[in-house]
Amino acid sequence: MKRIITIVGARPQFIKAATLSRQFQLLGIEEKIVHTGQHFDINMSDVFFDEMEIPRPVFQLDIHGLTHGAMTGRMLEEIEKILLKEKPDGVLVYGDTNSTMAGALAASKLHIPLIHVEAGLRSYNMEMPEEITRILTDRISNFLFCPTDTAIKNLKKEGFDYFPVKIIKNGDVMQDAAIYYTAKAEKKSNILNQIGLDKYIVGTIHRQENTDSPSNLRNIIAGLNEINNQIPLVVPIHPRTRNILAQQNIQCEFKLIDPVGYFDMIMLLKNCELVVTDSGGIQKEAFFFGKHCITLREETEWVELVENGFNILAGSNPEKLKTAFELFKTKKSDFSIDLYGEGKAAEKAALEILNF
């Protein structure tokens, strides 16, 4: 039986891992999950394991609230111990967080085949901690599962054709999750009753380039306050952003709620008028649920959404935000184009993993 160790630690990784874990069970691949502890609140972590029926982590590292270096270093040390003991056939990492980096380094230095899911993404913005993780993790991986053609092109531009690595375009596992969990969300979520709004916009803000720059954050909130005068805005707010808003005394006139579980998020996205976010995952989820998205960043890894007119990059500029809002208020788009594999990404990846 093939034995895989999966490293997760942050909210989007739980959602991605849910899709592959289910496929591993179907194919008889043994998976043990390491939860680094990077996200640890009930509503940033436990709720996803419960709702999405992700196997409970076998190893809980409880490492959080440190600087990037300290966090990654401690995770590396602990993951190495686990890998030395477990000697798995492969280590699986997702996306672009400190947990990804620590898992990737630990595995590759022990010569354990390293599998990166959501490989090849680039923003070409080296100030993003995520971009550094993506580049380094891709370079030391043995299997790169890419969600899009752009991701494959990015790797080719960096010379990956010459490296001993297998590159596979499998699609986006987040679309698998959106498709699989929507019926469950419809049954279980009560969020629409709780917010009690017929028409609303849903938003999120947590990217470091926005939260760590008081002027960017002020500009964004000013733009969002204006939009909220026309259509009410609901923002499940990341705990870090909530703290910074309080510290900086920035007033939000729109509805702030605590982070919600995935089922609630699906329902908020499925029924909204528009999405405004700096999240990577939510830009795609807007598209999965047939919604336009204004992205509060200067660039995106998901360029196909912008190229097809589904997404506009507004950065932290309130004027651009307003212009994009006015356009999307009336725009109708056909969202039926297949950009992300139509829900087969985890199955494809798991079959490759079974047979490597």
Contact letters for ligand UDP, residues 251-270 (x by CB under 6 A): --------xxxx--x-----
Q: Which is nearer to ligand UDP, 189 or 228 (CB)?
A: 189
State the nearest-atom distance from the C-beta of 343 to ligand UDP, in Å.
15
Q: Which of 137, 279, 300, 316 binds ligand UDP (CB under 6 A)?
A: 279
Task: Decide: is 280 part of the binding site for ligand UDP (CB under 6 A).
Answer: yes
Residues in 4-33 that interact with ligand UDP by CB under 6 A: 11-12, 15
Euclidean distance between CA atoms 32 and 86, whole angstroms: 9
State the nearest-atom distance from the C-beta of 189 to ligand UDP, in Å.
11
Q: Which is nearer to ligand UDP, 37 or 280 (CB)?
A: 280
Q: Which of 203, 281, 341, 343 binds ligand UDP (CB under 6 A)?
A: 281
Q: Please answer whether residues 338 and 297 qualify as being in contact, where contact means their C-beta atoms are separated by less than 8 angstroms.
A: no
Binding part of the chain for ligand UDP, among 55-63, 116-124, 274-282, 338-346 by CB under 6 A, reads 274-282
Residue 92 pairs in a beta bridge with 6, 115
Residue 204 pairs in a beta bridge with 277
Task: Decide: is 173 part of the binding site for ligand UDP (CB under 6 A).
Answer: no
What the block records as the tokens of 197 is 């709004």
Euclidean distance between CA atoms 356 and 344, whole angstroms: 19
Binding part of the chain for ligand UDP, among 54-62, 68-76, 159-167, 281-289 by CB under 6 A, reads 281-289
State the nearest-atom distance from the C-beta of 78 to ligand UDP, in Å.
22
Which residue out of 35, 206, 238, 292 is catalytically annotated?
Answer: 206
To the query of whether residue 206 is one of the catalytic residues in this protein, the response is: yes
Count the residues in the chain.
356
Smallest CA-to-CA distance from 236 within 279, 265, 207, 275 is with 265
Q: Which is nearer to ligand UDP, 74 or 134 (CB)?
A: 134
Residues in 181-240 that interact with ligand UDP by CB under 6 A: 204, 206, 236
State the nearest-atom distance from the C-beta of 301 to ligand UDP, in Å.
10
What the block records as the tokens of 203 is 């938003």
Q: Which is nearer to ligand UDP, 29 or 233 (CB)?
A: 233
Task: Decide: is 113 part of the binding site for ligand UDP (CB under 6 A).
Answer: no
Task: Decide: is 293 part of the binding site for ligand UDP (CB under 6 A).
Answer: no
Q: How far from chain centre, in Å, is Cα 209?
A: 16
Binding site for ligand UDP (CB under 6 A): 11-12, 15, 204, 206, 236, 259-262, 265, 279-282, 285
Q: Which residues are catalytic?
A: 206
